[in-house]
């Protein structure tokens, strides 16, 4: 049986064959989450089996074994005739089958370097010393690595080539993946949080995110913007995820919880409940990043990250198309989009060689989106695609919600958008510090000499300019209090 591929899958398959025929024996195939990597793999495997070749398909998670079997069965491969499983003491063991679906951990524990013609590695961005040793032990074997995010540091040391089959941006434009909208309603204060192994220090991160105000904002925002959308929420750690789950439940929302220690049976029960619509939200900690193909229409990012791989894998869970799905709503409470940009803008043409990257002075930093001051929808510049708010300069006149403000020399004249942005930042600081609402009004007045007409807007993480003014104000007040104290005591 020959499986039918989409045009981009067939082009990718041809490109892989060309790369392997040109001398590369270890090739990474990049395809976005939802692009059909397993279907592509099935087509390659069927070709290999028809030529009498033996193949190993290696997965990093146990949950992917059953999913892979189901996918391959749909393409005409039969268990215990064409394929068997190497995982623990699995009942479907048969070393005579030409295709072996393998748990990477089981192979590693047994030091089992299978002598096959082709190895296909799923989620190949995950580093594995066992796989690298296997590659050295079997230099005549062909290797194909499948991943949506081939950006792991040092991958070029182990893989020869990269074939880009389909990016998320390409597939969204062509309708194979769902479009998305991103809102940044609230963000934690990450000032001073250290970096560990390329990402935020998890202990310090938990202290900044596992606070009642932020959790309440997550639930309130979801109730206003996403109720009715099947949702998965990514949290920092177990305590954080459970706190968010509890807040959802107090609001009358059926919310589940899953982490790496959740039993397989309980996990499947939860996933079935989610698929049926009974469970509305699943709060998780680093679990729903692979092998979860349910209809997801809202992603809550509650864990800040500097990792492009983690970020793209998480958002990818919501980009699959579904009947009646207009777009995936992303509620970013982590500030990640404002750090890394949109997932569709993240791309690298080459595998990382592990060498430190030296930034060129001429190299310009890529722009990142900012929240619309009115509705918090993330955008770069121009008219907000959600609420229509506009703040653009033309011929020395600033346009904003029908209000015109002339730009003059001398004293700074703030546009409506700038007023709202500063107000939103001061509001964020006021809420964080527990100050009265009047603090925002008086500080805004003191900083820019006015306040915005629209004040019922979502808080926004303060930038350096606003924080600098607040610090200046605090120092000035402190000096005044000191002077007053000295005068009264003198």
Average pLDDT over residues 430-459: 85
The backbone torsions φ and ψ at residue 181, rounded to the nearest 5 degrees and listed phi first, read: -130, 140
pTM of the predicted model, to two decimals? 0.76
The domain covering 180-350 belongs, at the CATH homologous superfamily level, to P-loop containing nucleotide triphosphate hydrolases (3.40.50.300)
Contact 26, 143 (CB under 8 A): yes
Say how far apart CA 336 and CA 187 lie, in whole Å.
9
- Judge whether residue 397 has pLDDT over 90: no
Domain(s) labelled CATH 3.40.50.300 in the chain stretch across 7-166, 180-350
What are the beta bridge partners of residue 163?
29
Average pLDDT over residues 255-280: 93
Q: Whose CA is closest to 284, among 248, 228, 240?
A: 240
> Which has the minimum average pLDDT: 324-338, 378-392, 451-465, 472-486?
378-392
Q: Which residue has the tokens 């791309």?
A: 347
pLDDT of the residue at 366: 62
pLDDT of the residue at 402: 30
- Cβ burial 385-405 (10 Å sphere, 16+ → b, else e): ebeebbbeeeeeebbbeeeeb
- Hey, what CATH topology would domain 7-166 get? Rossmann fold (3.40.50)
pLDDT of the residue at 488: 60
pLDDT of the residue at 72: 95
Average pLDDT over residues 315-319: 94
Distances (CA, A) of 196 to 203, 305, 308, 380: 10, 11, 15, 30
- Bigger pLDDT: 2 vs 66: 66
User: What H or E segment, with its residue span, contains residue 444?
Assistant: helix 437-448
């Amino acid at each position: 049986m020959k499986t039918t591929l989409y045009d981009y899958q067939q082009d990718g398959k041809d490109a892989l064959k060309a790369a392997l025929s040109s001398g590369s024996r270890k090739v990474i195939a990049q395809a976005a989450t939802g692009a059909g990597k397993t279907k592509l793999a099935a087509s390659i495997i069927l070709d290999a089996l028809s030529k009498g070749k033996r193949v190993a398909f290696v997965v990093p998670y146990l949950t992917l074994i059953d999913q892979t079997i189901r996918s391959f069965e749909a393409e005409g491969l039969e268990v215990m005739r064409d394929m068997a499983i190497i995982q623990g003491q699995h009942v479907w063991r048969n070393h005579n089958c030409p295709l072996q679906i393998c748990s990477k951990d089981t192979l590693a524990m047994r030091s089992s370097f299978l002598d096959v013609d082709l190895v296909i590695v799923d989620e190949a961005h995950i580093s594995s010393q066992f796989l690298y040793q296997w590659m050295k032990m079997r230099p005549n074997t062909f290797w194909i690595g499948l991943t949506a995010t081939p950006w792991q540091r040092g991958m070029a040391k182990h893989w020869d080539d990269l074939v880009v089959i389909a990016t998320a941006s390409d597939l969204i434009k062509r309708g194979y993946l769902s479009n998305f909208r991103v809102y940044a309603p609230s963000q934690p204060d990450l000032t001073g949080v250290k970096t560990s192994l390329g990402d935020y220090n998890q202990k310090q991160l938990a202290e900044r995110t596992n606070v009642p105000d932020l959790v309440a904002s997550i639930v309130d925002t979801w109730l206003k913007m996403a109720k009715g959308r099947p949702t998965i929420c990514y949290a920092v750690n177990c305590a954080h995820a459970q706190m968010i789950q509890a807040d959802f439940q107090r609001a009358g929302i059926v919310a589940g919880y899953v982490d790496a220690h959740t039993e397989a049976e309980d996990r499947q029960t939860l996933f079935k409940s989610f698929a049926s619509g009974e469970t509305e939200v699943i709060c998780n900690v680093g679990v729903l990043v692979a092998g979860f193909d349910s209809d997801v229409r809202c992603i809550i990012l509650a864990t800040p990250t500097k990792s492009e791989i983690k970020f793209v894998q998480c958002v990818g869970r919501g980009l699959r198309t579904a009947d009646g799905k207009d777009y995936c709503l992303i509620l970013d409470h982590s500030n990640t989009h404002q750090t890394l940009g949109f997932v569709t803008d993240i791309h690298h043409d080459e595998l990382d060689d592990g060498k430190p990257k030296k930034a060129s002075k001429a190299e310009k930093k890529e722009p990142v989106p900012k929240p619309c001051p009115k509705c918090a929808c993330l955008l770069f510049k121009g008219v907000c695609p959600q609420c229509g708010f506009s703040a653009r300069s033309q011929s020395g006149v600033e346009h904003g919600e029908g209000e015109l403000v002339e730009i003059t020399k001398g004293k700074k004249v703030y546009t409506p958008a700038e007023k709202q942005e500063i107000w939103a930042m001061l509001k964020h600081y006021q809420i964080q510090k527990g100050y009265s609402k009047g603090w925002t009004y008086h500080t805004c007045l003191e900083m820019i000499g006015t306040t915005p007409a629209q004040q019922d807007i979502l808080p926004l993480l303060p930038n350096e300019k606003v924080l600098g003014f607040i610090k200046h104000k605090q120092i000035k007040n402190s000096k005044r209090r000191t002077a007053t104290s000295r005068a009264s005591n003198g």
